Amino acid sequence: MNHLSHDLEVHIGEKKLKQVTSKKVFGVTIDDQLSWEEQIDSVSKKVSQGIGVLRRAKLFVKYDTLQLLYNSLVQPYFEYCSLVWGNCRDSLKEKLQKLQNRAARVITGDSYDTRSKDILKKLNWKNLSERRQQKTIAYVSKAIAGNCPENISKKFEKSYSERYDLRNNNKFLSLPKPRTNSMVRSFGYAAAKTWNENNKFE
């Protein structure tokens, strides 16, 4: 797939804009290839600090309080703007999942002999992938209903492709063939793909 050219020049009037490889916008670091590496590194550092607090607090507080601390100091970093960066590559998703697993072990005290899946179940937590999927589907549903800004709602158009069962065709969204890696990782494409995949099983 094609990548964004570094020779691209953008002007406002006669002024040439300086090209950068990444920029933080509203707390989210966006890089020129939408790889989200810097964003995930930033999230990981903040989450690790929160887990450190959990580990120290465990000596003094009860189990329920530890969960409250997790919800306050850790979970928000996993969630913040995940609609935007949540389609990062699998290795970055796994990096974050390992941190959620680590936080869960701190709270329950379970050893590494216990499967992470079982620990999350004990805490009644969904893994991060499931949480992101839920959040994406809820947001797309809101956009389709016209309850989002118009520029967002316009990203999601119904598909009438013969790829899908005609009885359920109106459930699916148009998914154009991506030409670049950046488009594959973009919110509009990734959210529509998640929506379609979820509706296949309904």
Give residue-wise pLDDT tens across range 4-60. Answer: 555 677 778 878 888 888 889 999 999 888 889 999 999 999 999 999 999 999 999
| 198/99: higher pLDDT | 99
pTM exceeding 0.85:
no
In tens, the pLDDT along 87-143 reads 899 999 999 999 999 999 999 999 999 999 999 999 999 999 999 999 999 988 888
In the prediction, which pLDDT does 166 show? Answer: 45
* Three-class SS state of 99: helix
Higher-confidence residue of 77 and 1: namely 77
pLDDT attached to residue 67: 96
Give CA–CA dist 125/123, Å, rounded: 5
Residue 96 CA to residue 85 CA, distance in Å, equals: 12
Let me know: does 22 contact 77? Beta carbons within 8 Å.
no
Using DSSP's 3-state secondary structure scheme, residue 112 falls into: coil
Domain boundaries, the chain: 20-125, 133-199
16: phi then psi, degrees, rounded to nearest 5: -85, 130
- CA neighbours closer than 13 Å in the CB half-sphere of residue 29: 13
Q: Which one-letter amino acid corresponds to residue 198?
A: N
pLDDT tens digits, one per residue of 70-89: 999 999 999 999 999 998 99
Q: Tens digits of per-residue pLDDT, 148-181?
A: 888 888 888 877 554 545 455 567 888 777 777 7
How far apart are the C-alpha atoms of 117 and 69, rounded to whole Å? Answer: 21
For residue 121, the number of C-alpha atoms closer than 13 Å in the C-beta half-sphere is: 5
